[in-house]
Amino acid sequence: MDLNIKINDNDHLDIGGADAVEIADKYGTPVYVIDEDRIRENYNRFYSAFSRYYPKFKVFYACKANTNFAVMKILEQEGCCIDAVSPGEVYISKKMGFSGDRILFTGNNVTNDELKFVVDQGAVVNLDSISALNRLAEEVNPDGIKISFRVNPMVGAGHHDHCITGGVMSKFGIMDVEAVEAYELAKDLGFEPIGMHSHIGSGILDPEPFKLAIESTMDIAGKVHQDAKIDFEFIDFGGGVGIPYTPDEKVLDINKFAQENVNLFKEKLKEYDMSQPTMYLEPGRYLVGDASVLLVRINSVKQSYRKFIGVDAGFNTLLRPTMYDSYHHIVVANKMNEPETQTVDIAGNICESGDLFARDRKMPNVEEGDLLAILNAGAYGFTMSSNYNSRLKTPEILVHNGKCHVVREKETFEDLFNKQHIPEHLQ
Ligand code: LLP
**Strand runs labelled E in 207-276:** 234-238
Phi and psi angles of residue 62, each rounded to the nearest 5 degrees, phi first? -80, 95
Per-residue pLDDT of the chain (427 residues; tens, 9 = 90+): 999 999 999 999 999 999 999 999 999 999 999 999 999 999 999 999 999 999 999 999 999 999 999 999 999 999 999 999 999 999 999 999 999 999 999 988 999 999 999 999 999 999 999 999 999 999 999 999 999 999 988 776 777 777 777 777 778 888 889 999 999 999 999 999 999 999 988 888 888 989 999 999 999 999 999 999 999 999 999 878 999 999 999 999 999 999 999 999 999 999 999 999 999 999 999 999 999 999 999 999 999 999 999 999 999 999 999 999 999 999 999 999 999 999 999 999 999 999 999 999 999 999 999 999 999 999 999 999 999 999 999 999 999 999 999 999 999 999 999 999 999 999 9
Q: Is 351 a catalytic residue?
A: yes
Strands 13-15 and 18-19, by their bridges, are antiparallel
The residue nearest atom 23 of ligand 1, judged by CA position, is 380
The residue nearest atom 4 of ligand 1, judged by CA position, is 239
Nearest-atom number in ligand 1 for the CA of 158 is 15
CB of 238 within 6 A of ligand 1: the answer is yes
Quick one: which H or E segment has residue 162? none
CB of 172 within 6 A of ligand 1: the answer is no
| pLDDT score, position 222 | 98
User: Taking CA 128 as the corner, what is the angle to CA 123 and CA 129, rounded to the nearest 5 degrees?
Assistant: 125
Angle formed by the axes of helices 130-139 and 112-120, nearest 10°:
70
Sheet holding 13-15, edge to edge: 6-7, 13-15, 18-19
Q: Give residue limits of the domains in the chain.
A: 6-35+289-417, 36-284
11 Cα–ligand 1 center, Å = 34
99 Cα–ligand 1 center, Å = 22
215 Cα–ligand 1 center, Å = 21
Quick one: which H or E segment has residue 117? helix 112-120
Assign residue 160 a region (left: φ > 0; alpha: ψ between -120 and 50; beta: otherwise).
beta
Looking at domain 6-35+289-417, its CATH superfamily turns out to be Lyase, Ornithine Decarboxylase; Chain A, domain 1 (2.40.37.10)
Active-site residue (options: 63, 80, 81, 351): 351
CB of 236 within 6 A of ligand 1: the answer is no
Dihedral sign (CA 395, 244, 331, 43): negative
Alpha-carbon gap, residue 67 to 61, rounded angstroms: 10
Alpha-carbon gap, residue 143 to 140, rounded angstroms: 9
Rounded to two decimals, the pTM is: 0.97
Which of 75, 150, 202 to mutate for ligand 1's pocket (most ligand atoms within 8 Å of CB)? 202
Q: 36-284 architecture in CATH?
A: Alpha-Beta Barrel (3.20)
Alpha-carbon gap, residue 384 to 157, rounded angstroms: 21
Quick one: which H or E segment has residue 372? strand 371-374
Nearest-atom number in ligand 1 for the CA of 83 is 1
| pLDDT score, position 161 | 75
Instruction: Decide whether 6-35+289-417 matches 36-284 in CATH topology.
Output: no
| pLDDT score, position 68 | 98
CB of 240 within 6 A of ligand 1: the answer is yes
Nearest-atom number in ligand 1 for the CA of 203 is 15
Alpha-carbon gap, residue 5 to 247, rounded angstroms: 11
| pLDDT score, position 310 | 98
